[in-house]
Amino acid sequence: MSAPTSPRRTARIGDSPAVRRTLVAAVLLVSAIVIVAPLAVIAVQAFSRGVDAYLAAIAHPDTLHAIGLTLVTALIAVPVNTLFGVAAAWAITKFDFPGRRLLIVLIEIPFSISPIVAGVAYLFVYGLQGLFGEWLSAHDIKILFALPGIVLASLFVTAPFVARELIPLMQAQGRDLEEAAASLGASGWRTFLTVTLPNIRWALLYGVVLCNARVMGEFGAVSVVSGNIRGQTNTLPLHVELLYHDYQTAGAFAAASILAGLAVVTLVVKVALEKRGAGRRNRPAFVAEPPLKETP
């Protein structure tokens, strides 16, 4: 009796050592050119005139105001979008209602629209010639070219971040635990705080970190609705552009180094959260249970 033959192994792209080394080298080269080199240039140029000049550029009143405005915007936009993301994920994954799929599509819209287009849309809604422009002007309410417009634009572009991190995870977890808690007499808030929140905390924090990074780095939509008023409505990304156009290279790179530092911190936090199970690559795949067969 002949011995069973082992199944033939299918060749894959990259099995060859030469191909594998070439791919790794190509990825490292592109990463160095696209990611590492710009960060290195920012660091070198920011300190090109010495530490004192760097600190003086950071301490400039316009730069400090831009930093403060960016922080205030993040302190408003991130909590609001966190609450929105949790509420949307809870509604979509725990309840069945008409328009559920439409709500999922609406949440993803900011990823499909250019931020500049979103900013222009706000002009046609809240601008002087916009839909509510005359009413806002008559009541002396200023939305555009002020903090409210910047916050609204930031809310729009970052609305999906928390929700899109929570929805797949909560779909995979199902509704069994919440239904069991409700059957034992737990209220809605107690069920959320003691059952749902502990199971989604790392994914929630993951989404918050990404949302915060996008708020602080947003340029397109904010540039349209803010008016780019020096020392008044310039966030940190807009201030970097303004300094660069004014040929204040050292100040521009000094301000840009803050954003670069934020990006590095965000990356470190992101990796740490992924090790704790956050992020899409660590989520269990959602597999629907097969329907029960009727017995004859």
Name every residue whose Cβ is closer than 8 Å to that of residue 97 and which is 6 or more positions away in sequence: 91
Structural domain includes residue 287 = no
Structural domain includes residue 1 = no
Helix, strand, or coil here: 106?
A: helix
Distance CA 126, CA 147 (A): 13
pLDDT of res. 58: 92
- Domain limits for position 195: 50-282
Burial pattern 19-53, b for ≥16 Cβ within 10 A else e, equals: eeeeeeeeeeeeeeeeeeeeeeebeebbeebeeee
Count each helix (H run) and each strand (E run) in the chain, helices first. Answer: 15, 0
Structural domain includes residue 39 = no
Six-digit token pair at 239? 């201030």
CATH, residue 124: 1.10.3720.10
DSSP H helical segments within 95-175, as ranges? 100-112, 115-126, 133-138, 147-158, 160-173
Structural domain includes residue 242 = yes
pLDDT of res. 208: 92
pLDDT of res. 157: 93
Six-digit token pair at 170? 């909560």
DSSP-assigned letters across all residues of 181-249? HHHTT--HHHHIIIIIHHHHHHHHHHHHHHHHHHHHH--HHHHHHH---TTTT--HHHHHHHHHHTT-H
Distance CA 178, CA 242 (A): 51
Structural domain includes residue 199 = yes
Task: Tell me if the pTM is above 0.75.
Answer: yes
Structural domain includes residue 117 = yes
Distance CA 162, CA 153 (A): 17
Per-residue pLDDT of the chain (296 residues), as tens digits, is 455 555 555 656 666 788 888 888 999 999 899 888 988 888 888 888 888 989 999 999 999 999 999 999 999 999 999 999 999 998 898 888 888 888 888 898 998 888 999 999 999 999 888 888 888 888 888 899 999 999 999 999 999 999 999 999 888 888 888 888 888 888 878 888 888 888 888 889 889 999 999 999 899 899 999 988 888 889 999 999 999 888 888 889 999 999 888 888 888 888 887 777 665 555 544 444 444 344 44
Distance CA 276, CA 131 (A): 47
Structural domain includes residue 45 = no
Q: How many domains does the chain have?
A: 1
Structural domain includes residue 253 = yes
